[in-house]
A and B are shown apart, each in its own frame.
Chain A
Amino acid sequence: MKALTLQLRPEVDQPVDISSVTPSAVSGRTLEQLSRMKLPTRTGRLTLGEAFDISGDADQGLVLESHSGLLERAAAGLTEGSLGLRGHFGDRVAEGMRGGQVELRGRCEHYAANSMRGGQLSIRGEAGDWLGGALPDAVTGLNGGTVIVNGRIGDMAGYRMRRGLVLVNGDAGAYLGARMVAGTIVVTGAVGAHAGFNMRRGTLAVRDDALAIPTNFADCGVTESVYGALLAAQIKKVSRRAAAFISSAKHTHLYRGDITNGGLGELLVFATS
């Protein structure tokens, strides 16, 4: 028997808040009971049975499938268990997640992992803007846990991030780590303009040919980074590619900034040649 699979029906034409559908919420329920679960939409509510084709067994896991980007807040607030996401998801995936594991094979829109506090989100595909970034009415963005993206991410990733680890095996857009408070973002691909804008503390780890060094970062020279070795050893457990990127570097160049905001943040630039 396969995992409980909820396939969004093509006739659903408005965003649906899917946050209440979690492994613990569906466990022990019959298909009939699941069908009657109510989901908020922009204009009212839909039942699970109206929005999804439902099949499988919850004891074997939970998978959500969507190809329209209309499912919002998937895995929001998740505290335990595993959740599989397949296809194209909307905004705020894993918002406020506190534990458990989410694997998205596909892509998601904006504000994924905002206010996430624990657990692990893996995205095998692209993420939109504001990955781990603070919502407009929030003080901080990502605040714990691990986010791994094997694909491109948009602009403003890590905006006002407070804690946690983001690993991007792909390119990142502009304003990476803007106003970052703490935490670590590793990007193995290219990085857009204005990385570390107004950053307070925290670490951006990038490739030497990935970006133009921002002018508001002070050159602290080449360093033997023990922290880099520690970071590589720790992240090897979740992303061998990101770990290899750091541990195979010829040397590490350290820049501190944003100097307009105390200069305690760091840009670790790993030389590839």
Chain B
Amino acid sequence: MSTSTRKVKKRLNGVVIDPTFAEAFPMKGTRVIITAATEEWAFHAANAMTGFATSVIACGCEAGIERKLSPRETPDGRPGYAVMIFAMGDKGLAKQLQDRIGQCVLTSPTSACYAGVAPGDRPLPIGKQLRYFGDGYQTSKVMDGRRFWRIPVMDGEFVCDEVTWALPAIGGGNFLVLATHQSAALEACERAIKAMRKVSGVIMPFPGGVVRSGSKVGSKYAALPASTNHRFCPTLKGVVDNDLEADTGSVMEIVIDGLSKEAISEAMAVGIRAACKLGRQRGIQRISAGNYGGNLGPHHFHLHEVLA
């Protein structure tokens, strides 16, 4: 990654906002709604479904819980969660969706699963495939033009939409928090994530929403597609060219996937402002972002524009 430079400096609460941009890529994404008899069990299903889904590099998809839903917001009037999942293409997305719902939601007590986006032109099977688990005892119901499948299971019945739909999406919106010490970087990121979770249409797929090991493309080892972003590693400050200040002790990154550029911009703005609330006096030095010179990803999120 590299940081482009412009002359304009900006600060929030004493924290420097680098004149740089995040470079993001086209993906395919969708949303599903998971409900259950209680909020706790809806969370278990959603949490399981979005596990091991931090990066398409090795997880097959990027997924996360978008937000909790009240009973009034779900198709069956039960508590639920909205979950979003992203992949590089329709086929990969369909496979990940099938596998995760089949293994993590269908198996979860009292759960049901519904499409969470409006009908489009690229259907992704949910019940259309999972119905076969019913071994011929499954039935379907058409309501308001939607087909639902009812699959008999040991705890009663698993109900799901026949399909959801793949939508164009963006992956890799990001910002970096540079701090004098690790606990400051972490606290700033925690505040950022707490604020960002209120933004619709985005997820932050890494553990707790935060990446401690931001990467760069390529490696000295031919087999590796990515490796540590050494220019932002504070323990290498003295021996490699870097983008850090002399007293930078820790850098953490927040990566954002979303269904629209507007949603990602809003999430970045909300997150950066929340992170900067700690201020320079409590160790937050700079906000930066990762890009590849602007030539790989078509979506650029300039930090100064996002915060304007």
Contacts and interface: CB of A to CB of B under 8 A. Distances in A.
Interface in A77-119: none
Interface of A is mostly: mixed
A223 B156 contact: yes
B186 to A, nearest CB: 41
Contacts of B77: 229, 232-233, 247
A266 B141 CA distance: 12
Interface string A146-168: 00000000000000000101000
A223 B157 contact: yes
A226 B156 contact: yes
A233 B157 contact: no
Contacts of B141: 184, 203, 227, 231
Nearest to B36: A226
Contacts of A179: none
Interface string B111-154: 01000000000000000000000000101011110001010000
A225 interface: yes
B294 interface: no
A224 interface: yes
A194 interface: no
A207 interface: no
A234 interface: yes
Contacts of B78: 226, 229
Interface residues of B, number: 20
Given A232-B77, A233-B76, A226 B143 contact: no
B202 to A, nearest CB: 27
A231 B143 contact: yes
B27 interface: no
Contacts of B112: 226, 230
A229 B156 CA distance: 13
Interface in A186-234: 201, 203, 223-227, 229-234
Interface residues of A, number: 20
Contact of A225 (B74, B137, B144, B157): B157
Interface string B156-192: 1111000000000000000000000000000000000
B76 A165 contact: no
Given A225-B157, A226-B112, A226-B156, A234 B37 contact: no
A264 interface: yes
B75 interface: yes
Given A224-B110, A226-B157, 17 more contacts: A144-B142, A184-B141, A226-B76, A226-B156, A226-B158, A227-B141, A229-B77, A230-B112, A230-B143, A230-B148, A230-B159, A231-B141, A231-B143, A232-B77, A234-B75, A234-B143, A247-B77
16 contacts: A144-B142, A224-B110, A224-B156, A226-B76, A226-B156, A229-B76, A229-B77, A229-B78, A230-B112, A230-B143, A230-B148, A231-B141, A231-B143, A233-B74, A234-B143, A234-B144
